[in-house]
C-alpha cells in the first residue's frame, strides 16, 4: 500500500525550494504520493500553518505522514519532532506548529529527531525542509519506526490559543484566523452559542445565526457555524475582514437575544 | 486503470481548505490521482473558473472527472450538478460555471446531486467543496453511476457569453478573458477574421495578424489566433491589459484591411 | 518503473494553462507522475526559472524528465531543446534557461526538437508548453530516444552569470537571486570566503559568518553559506531585500577581517 506525505509550508511556488523537497523524498521512496496541503503561508507564520494543519489533517487516510515546514527558528538549537498520534505521523519543527495535534490527543508519542543517518549532509543549517524533514518523512514512509530517529521526549513546545471567556451574561471570543476570502474564524465553539445570539464585532451587531451565505442579502454580514465547528463571520459575496476592519485576535462579544 | 480527478477552485493555497478536499477524496479512493488545474481563481469569479475549465478539460484522458469548486451561492438552495458528456464527468455547483461543457455538447446528461449517502455530515452548509463535491467525485471514481447520486435534470443554469456581432463591414467583439500575462483573449473565432484585419481596441489600431510574439518589436502590440482558437491581443514581452488600459468585456472592432 | 516529469513555469495557477499541459501529458502516458517544481515565476523571467532549476534538479531520481516552460521568445524561430546529461533529460526553449545544466556538465548531448510527429497541431504558435513541450516530455517518458525528436546541436544558448571578482584584497560579488523570504543569494562560493569576512552591501557592514538565523538577534542581519553553497545574506525573522534596499545584481564587497 503506497503512502501519502503531505506538506504545509511557507515556501513560495516560485523559488524551486519546494521542488528540492519533493525530489529528495522521491529519491528515497518512489512509491508514495506527495500532496501539498498548503504553500505560500505568510513567511514564518506558525499560527497560520497550524490552522492549515488543523483544517485538514484528520481527513486523510490512516498512515498518512503530515510534514510542516514553517521554521523561522531553524538551526542547531531548535529540535525537530516526530509525533505519533496512533493514526498519523507528524513531522515538523518544535516551535509550536504541531500544537493542534497535541491538543486533540494528549497521548501522542513525541520523538526528537537526532539520528544523522537519516539526514542529508549540508554545509548549511538553513534548509531543514530539504536536508532533514524531507529525508526523515521519506524514511518514515518506508516503515522505519519513529524511535529509530531519536529519543522520546515529553515536552514539545505548545502554543496556547486564546480561549473564549464568559463575562456576566456575555461570551467574549476572538478572531483566530482570517481566511483568503476575508471570513473571520473565531474561537467560539457551536456548543457555547445561544439559540439567538447577538454578536458584536468592531462596534457592529449581527443578530441570529445563518445556515449559509445566501441567507442574507448580497454585501450583508452574517454569522454561522463554520466548517471547523466554531462561529464564523462573513459577508455574502464580500470580504468581512475589510468590511469590519477586523484583524487577527480581534475581540467579539456574544450575548443572548432570547427566544426567537 | 486508475482515474484522474481534476480541481478548479477559488481556494487559495494558504488556508488548508484544498488540503481537506484532497484528504476526503484519498480517504475514499487511494487509487486515483488528483491534479489541480487551477487554484487561486479570484474569489467567487465564476467566469474565470469557467475559462480555466474551457482552456483545459478536453486535453485529459477519457474518464477523467473534472470538479469545479467556485461557489459564491453555496447553500441548501443551490443545486450541485453531475454532467456526463460521454467522455468525461463534471461536478460543480449549478451556478453556470459548467457552461462551456454544456455549450460544446448539448446532449450532455445532467443530474441533481441529492443522495445524502455520498456526502459528509457537517454542522455547516458553507464548505460543499469538502462535504459534498469531494466525496461525490471520489465515489464517481469508484464507478458509482451518476444517476445513483440524484435525479436527472434538464435545466442547468447557463451563463450566456457575449457573442461577436457583425455591424456593416465591421465585426464588434469583446475581451472575454485577461490572462496572468495581461494578454487579451477575445470572443472572435479565427473563421470570422479577414485575411488582413485592422483591429481597434481602446482607441488604438493593430494591423494584420501575427503568428507569434516575436513577429513584432519588443513592447509593441500584436494580434494573433490564440491557443483557444480565437483572436488574442498581446504585447511582445509586455502586458497588453496595462498597455491598452483594457478591462474585461472591453469592445474591439475588426475591419477588413483588404489584400496584402 | 514509472517516471517523473517536473515542470518549472511562469504560468499562474489561475488560468488553466498548466492544467492543459498536465492533461496533454497524462493523455499520452498515464503511468507517470507530474511534479510542479515551480510555478508563478515572474512573467518571462528566464533568470529566475534558471535558479529554480539549479535549486532543485539534482535532488530527483535518475531518469527524471525536467521541463521548463518560460518562453518569452516562443515562435517558429526559437529552437526547442532536449538536453541529456547522462542522468536526467531536460526539455525547454533555447533561450538560456537550461544554462545551469550545461555549466554543470559540458558533456551534455543537445537536440533540436523538430519532428512534428511528436507535437500537437495547433492554429497558434503561442502555446508551446501545451503543443510542443508537453507531448515531447510525455513521449520521452515512454522511452522514445532523444535523437528521434530532432538532430543533435552543439550551440545551445548560454546565459553568462556574473562571476565574483578579486580586486586587491577584496572580493566583489553580486546578488544573483532574491528569494520569496527576501534573502539575498550571492554568486560567491563558500571556498572563496575568508574565515572571518567583513561583508559590505548597500553601505552596511556584516561581520563574520553565522551558521543559522538564530545566531543573531531578531531583525538583525547575518551572512551565512546558503543551501546552494554560496554566500547568502538574511535578516533573522525579517526581509533582507527590504532592509538593505537591495536589488538583483547588487554588488557586495567581502574583505578579510583576520583571525577571530
Q: End-to-end alpha-carbon separation of chain B, Å?
A: 53
For residue B158, being part of any structural domain is answered with no
Using CA coordinates, name the residue in chain A closest to B121.
A227
- C125 and B54 within 8 Å at the Cβ level: the answer is no
Interfacial A residues in 58-117 facing B (CB < 8 Å): 58-61, 64
**Which of the listed residues B105, B129, B153 is the one where a domain comes to its end?**
B153
- B229 and C123 within 8 Å at the Cβ level: the answer is yes
Q: Which three cell numbers stand for residue C85?
A: 546529461
Instruction: Let me know whether A48 and A127 are in one domain.
Output: yes
Residues of B in contact with C27 (CB under 8 A): 59-61
CA C40, CA B79: separation in Å to the nearest integer?
Answer: 34
For residue A174, being part of any structural domain is answered with yes
pLDDT of residue A246: 93
Which structural domain range is residue A126 located in? Answer: 3-153
Residue A94's pLDDT band (boundaries 50, 70, 90)? Answer: very high
Q: What are phi and psi of A94, to 5 degrees?
A: -85, 65
Q: How much is the average pLDDT of A121-129?
A: 83
Instruction: Let me know whether A39 and A131 are in one domain.
Output: yes
Angle (CA) A191-A194-A197 rounded to 5° is: 130
Helix axes C17-28, B46-56, angle to 10 degrees: 30
| CATH code of residue C172 | 2.40.30.90
Q: Which of C245, C16, C179 is nearest to A10 (CA)?
A: C179
pLDDT of residue A74: 79
Whether chain A has a CB inside 8 Å of the CB on B34: the answer is yes
For residue C158, being part of any structural domain is answered with no
Residue A121's pLDDT band (boundaries 50, 70, 90)? Answer: confident
Q: How much is the average pLDDT of C117-125?
A: 85
* Upper half-sphere CA count for residue A159 (Cβ side, 13 Å): 18
Cβ–Cβ pairs < 8 A, chains A and C: 122
Q: Which of A37, A188, A211 to mutate to test the interface with B (most CBs of B within 10 A)?
A: A37
Whether chain A has a CB inside 8 Å of the CB on C180: the answer is yes
DSSP letter assigned to residue B92: E
pLDDT of residue B109: 98
For residue B29, being part of any structural domain is answered with yes
CA A11, CA A5: separation in Å to the nearest integer?
Answer: 17
pLDDT of residue B100: 96
Count the domains in chain B. Answer: 2
Dump pLDDT digits (tens) for C169-184. Answer: 999 999 999 998 999 9
Instruction: Let me know whether A15 and A91 are in one domain.
Output: yes
**Which of the listed residues C120, C153, C186 is the one where a domain comes to its end?**
C153
Instruction: Let me know whether B114 and B174 are in one domain.
Output: no
Q: Is residue A152 classed as helix, strand or coil in its secondary structure?
A: strand
CA A104, CA A100: separation in Å to the nearest integer?
Answer: 6
Q: What is the share, in percent, of chain C residues with pLDDT greater than 70? A: 99
Distance from CA of B116 to the nearest CA of C (A): 31
Residues of B in contact with A214 (CB under 8 A): 73-75, 77-78
Across the strands, what pairs with A198? A207, A255
**Which of the listed residues B103, B118, B153 is the one where a domain comes to its end?**
B153
Answer yes or no: is pLDDT of C146 > 90: yes
Which of the other chains make 3 or more beta carbon contacts under 8 angstroms with chain C? A, B
pLDDT of residue A90: 98
- C212 and A125 within 8 Å at the Cβ level: the answer is yes
Interfacial C residues in 216-235 facing A (CB < 8 Å): 224-227, 229, 232, 234
Instruction: Let me know whether C131 and C246 are in one domain.
Output: no
Q: How much is the average pLDDT of C128-145?
A: 96
Whether chain A has a CB inside 8 Å of the CB on B180: the answer is no
Whether chain A has a CB inside 8 Å of the CB on B121: the answer is no
Dump pLDDT digits (tens) for A50-78. Answer: 999 999 999 999 999 999 999 888 777 88
Q: How much is the average pLDDT of A85-99?
A: 97
Q: CA dist B113 to B68, B71, B91, B137, C71, Å?
A: 14, 15, 9, 11, 43
Dump pLDDT digits (tens) for C29-58. Answer: 999 999 999 999 999 999 999 999 999 999
Q: What is the share, in percent, of chain A residues with pLDDT greater than 70? A: 99
Whether chain B has a CB inside 8 Å of the CB on A214: the answer is yes
pLDDT of residue C123: 66
Q: Which of B105, B82, B87 is nearest to B156 (CA)?
A: B82
For residue A158, being part of any structural domain is answered with no
Q: Which of A181, A225, A240 to mutate to test the interface with B (most CBs of B within 10 A)?
A: A181
Q: What is the share, in percent, of chain B residues with pLDDT greater than 70? A: 99
DSSP string, B6-31: EEEES--SSSSHHHHHHHHHHHH-SS
Q: Is residue A66 classed as helix, strand or coil in its secondary structure?
A: strand
Q: Residue B47 is inside which H or E element, if any?
A: helix B46-56
Dump pLDDT digits (tens) for C61-72. Answer: 999 999 999 988
Instruction: Let me know whether A107 and A202 are in one domain.
Output: no
* Upper half-sphere CA count for residue A170 (Cβ side, 13 Å): 11
Residue C1's pLDDT band (boundaries 50, 70, 90)? Answer: low
Instruction: Let me know whether A181 and A213 are in one domain.
Output: yes
For residue A34, being part of any structural domain is answered with yes
Q: Which of A180, A215, A225 sits opposite B124 (nearest CB)?
A: A225
Interface confidence, given as ipTM, is 0.92
Q: Which three cell numbers stand for residue C36?
A: 510542479
- A37 and B19 within 8 Å at the Cβ level: the answer is yes
Dump pLDDT digits (tens) for A181-235. Answer: 999 999 999 999 998 999 999 999 999 999 888 889 999 999 999 988 999 999 9
Instruction: Let me know whether A116 and A185 are in one domain.
Output: no
CA C168, CA C111: separation in Å to the nearest integer?
Answer: 43
Largest CA distance in chain C: 67
Q: Residue B231 is inside which H or E element, if any?
A: strand B230-235
CA A55, CA B233: separation in Å to the nearest integer?
Answer: 42
Dump pLDDT digits (tens) for B61-89. Answer: 999 999 999 988 877 788 999 999 999 99
Residues of A in contact with C59 (CB under 8 A): 19-20, 23-24, 27, 130
pLDDT of residue C159: 93
Q: Which of C141, C161, C171, C165 is nearest to C65 (CA)?
A: C141
pLDDT of residue A99: 97
User: What is the 3-state secondary structure of chain C?
Assistant: CCEEEEEEECCCCCCCHHHHHHHHHHHHCCCEEEEEEECCCCCCCHHHHHHHHHHHHHHCCCCCEEEEECCCCCCCCCCEEEEECCCCEEEEECCCCCHHHHHHCCCCEEEECCCHHHCCCCCCCCCHHHHHHHHHHHHHHCCCCHHHCCCEECCCCCCCCCCCEEECCEEEEEEEEECCCCCEEEEEEHHHCCCCEEEEECCEEEECCCCCHHHCCCCCEEEEECCCCEEEEEECCCCHHHHHCCCCCCEEEEEECCCC
Instruction: Let me know whether C11 and C129 are in one domain.
Output: yes
For residue B160, being part of any structural domain is answered with no
* Mean pLDDT across chain C: 93
Q: How much is the average pLDDT of A239-256?
A: 94
Dump pLDDT digits (tens) for A2-50. Answer: 799 999 999 998 889 999 999 999 999 999 999 999 999 999 999 999 9
CA B246, CA B47: separation in Å to the nearest integer?
Answer: 17
Instruction: Let me know whether C204 and C149 are in one domain.
Output: no
Q: How much is the average pLDDT of B245-252?
A: 93
| CATH code of residue B49 | 3.40.50.10790
pLDDT of residue B224: 94
Q: Tell me if A169 sits within 8 A of A49, measured CB to CB.
A: no
CA B152, CA B137: separation in Å to the nearest integer?
Answer: 17
pLDDT of residue B75: 77
Residues of B in contact with A33 (CB under 8 A): 33
Q: Residue A186 is inside which H or E element, if any?
A: strand A184-189
pLDDT of residue A1: 53
Q: Residue A128 is inside which H or E element, if any?
A: helix A128-128
Q: End-to-end alpha-carbon separation of chain C, Å?
A: 53
* Mean pLDDT across chain A: 93
Instruction: Let me know whether B27 and B135 are in one domain.
Output: yes
Q: Is residue A35 classed as helix, strand or coil in its secondary structure?
A: strand
For residue A103, being part of any structural domain is answered with yes
Residue B260's pLDDT band (boundaries 50, 70, 90)? Answer: low
Instruction: Let me know whether A148 and A214 are in one domain.
Output: no
Residue C163's pLDDT band (boundaries 50, 70, 90)? Answer: very high
pLDDT of residue A244: 94
Amino acid at each position: 500500500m503506497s503512502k501519502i506525505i503531505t506538506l504545509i509550508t511557507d515556501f513560495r511556488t516560485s523559488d524551486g525550494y519546494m521542488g528540492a523537497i519533493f525530489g529528495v523524498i522521491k529519491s528515497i521512496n518512489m512509491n508514495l504520493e506527495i500532496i501539498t496541503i498548503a504553500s505560500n503561508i505568510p513567511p514564518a507564520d506558525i499560527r497560520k500553518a497550524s490552522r492549515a494543519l488543523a483544517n485538514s489533517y484528520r481527513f486523510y487516510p490512516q498512515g498518512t505522514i503530515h510534514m510542516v515546514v514553517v521554521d523561522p527558528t531553524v538551526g542547531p538549537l531548535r529540535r525537530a519532532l516526530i509525533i505519533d498520534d496512533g493514526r498519523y505521523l507528524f513531522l515538523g519543527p518544535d516551535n509550536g506548529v504541531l500544537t493542534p495535534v497535541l491538543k486533540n490527543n494528549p497521548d501522542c508519542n513525541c520523538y526528537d529527531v537526532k539520528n544523522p543517518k537519516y539526514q542529508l549532509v549540508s554545509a548549511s543549517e538553513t534548509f531543514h525542509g530539504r536536508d532533514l524533514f524531507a529525508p526523515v518523512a521519506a524514511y518514515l514512509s518506508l516503515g522505519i519506526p519513529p524511535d529509530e530517529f531519536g529519543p522520546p521526549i515529553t515536552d514539545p513546545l505548545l502554543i496556547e490559543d486564546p480561549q473564549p471567556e464568559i463575562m456576566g451574561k456575555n461570551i467574549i471570543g476572538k478572531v483566530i484566523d482570517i481566511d483568503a476570502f476575508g471570513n473571520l474564524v473565531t474561537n467560539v465553539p457551536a456548543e457555547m452559542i445561544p439559540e439567538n445570539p447577538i454578536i458584536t464585532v468592531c462596534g457592529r451587531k449581527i443578530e441570529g445565526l445563518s445556515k449559509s451565505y445566501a441567507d442574507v442579502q448580497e454585501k450583508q454580514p452574517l454569522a454561522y457555524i463554520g466548517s471547523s465547528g466554531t462561529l464564523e463571520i462573513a459577508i455574502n459575496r464580500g470580504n468581512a475582514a475589510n468590511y469590519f476592519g477586523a484583524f487577527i485576535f480581534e475581540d467579539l462579544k456574544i450575548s443572548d437575544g432570547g427566544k426567537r
